[in-house]
Amino acid sequence: MMLETLLLFAPVIAPVQDRCPHVALRSSTQPGGRIAFTGMVHGGDTNVRPTYNWAVSAGTVASGQGTPEIQIEAEPGLSVTATLDVGGFDLSCATSASETELAMPAAAPDCPLLMVVSSSPSRGKGEFGAQIFRARRDQMELAHFRRQDRARAGHQPDRGGSRIGPHRDRHRHGERRARRMPAERKAGPADPVTGKDGTLTIPDNHARLLGRGLRAGVCRPTDAMKHL
């Protein structure tokens, strides 16, 4: 009888597999070198309030240390390994997990819509090649040629809007040169180049010519531009 009583009140020891949780990680990336790591704890002792301790191989923990999810800021192109150690469970339990993710570069900014006049209809919608900014560039060069020739001719506009000056023939020659310029233009290194990912690379000399806030570098055509 006494033996049965002792067995009845003996503490019930749960198997190790029931006391230990399963720890896993998942990750997601955002352009600009930001990575999110999320820890997931399944099973284990339900009376335990787990603690979360994170360590990363590169970059910095921007937020979330001590919580199930952290945000990492790292240089684009770096491979970042995050390791999570979950505390509070039996020391015999394996409560660590690691995950590796690559930091993405920043997304290309939208191309300025005001710089685009039209794309060639023969190329189809959404295809941006070397001709996409050429019309706008030619317009800028036309204006530049006209300003130069008018300055050399020394003419001034009268109230009626006509042009007068001591070197009318020279001015007319400049106008003819400006009008011929677009027809004589050929594709050159100053034209934007379309990448395989759909972005446009704008050369530095092209950006300086257009001005108005356009910078050299890579930009991404917007949906509005694709329907021009």
pLDDT tens-digit readout, 213-225: 455 566 666 665 5
Residue 80 shares a structural domain with residue 122:
no
Residue 127 shares a structural domain with residue 159:
yes
Residue 98 shares a structural domain with residue 118:
no
Q: Decide if 99 contacts 27 (C-beta within 8 A).
A: yes
Residue 128 shares a structural domain with residue 222:
yes
Residue 217 shares a structural domain with residue 136:
yes
d(CA 42, CA 39): 10
Domain limits at 20? 14-102
Residue 152 shares a structural domain with residue 193:
yes
Residue 28 sits in a domain whose CATH number is: 2.60.40
Residue 92 shares a structural domain with residue 120:
no
Residue 160 shares a structural domain with residue 194:
yes
* pLDDT for the residue numbered 56: 96
10-14 mean pLDDT: 49
Give the chain's domain count.
Answer: 2
Residue 176 shares a structural domain with residue 210:
yes
* pLDDT for the residue numbered 118: 36
Cα(first)–Cα(last) distance of the chain, in Å?
Answer: 93
Exposed / middle / buried, residue 171 (Cβ in 10 Å: 0-12, 13-18, 19+)? buried
Q: Does some domain include residue 220?
A: yes
Q: Does some domain include residue 219?
A: yes
Residue 117 shares a structural domain with residue 217:
yes
Q: Does some domain include residue 179?
A: yes
* pLDDT for the residue numbered 93: 93
pLDDT, averaged across the chain: 68
pLDDT tens-digit readout, 151-176: 666 655 544 444 444 445 555 555 55
Q: Does some domain include residue 87?
A: yes
What is the share, in percent, of the chain residues with pLDDT greater than 90? 33
Point out the domain boundary residue: 102, 122, 146.
102
Q: Does the structure show a pLDDT above 60 at 134? A: no
Structure confidence at residue 117 as a pLDDT band (50, 70, 90): very low
Q: Decide if 210 contacts 216 (C-beta within 8 A).
A: no
Q: Does some domain include residue 170?
A: yes
Point out the domain boundary residue: 49, 82, 102.
102
Structure confidence at residue 146 as a pLDDT band (50, 70, 90): low
Residue 173 shares a structural domain with residue 148:
yes
Q: Does some domain include residue 129?
A: yes
Structure tokens at 187: 């594709």
Cα dihedral 26→30→33→37 (10° resolution):
-20
Point out the domain boundary residue: 49, 80, 102.
102
Whole-prediction pTM value? 0.49
Residue with the larger pLDDT of the pair 40 and 135: 40
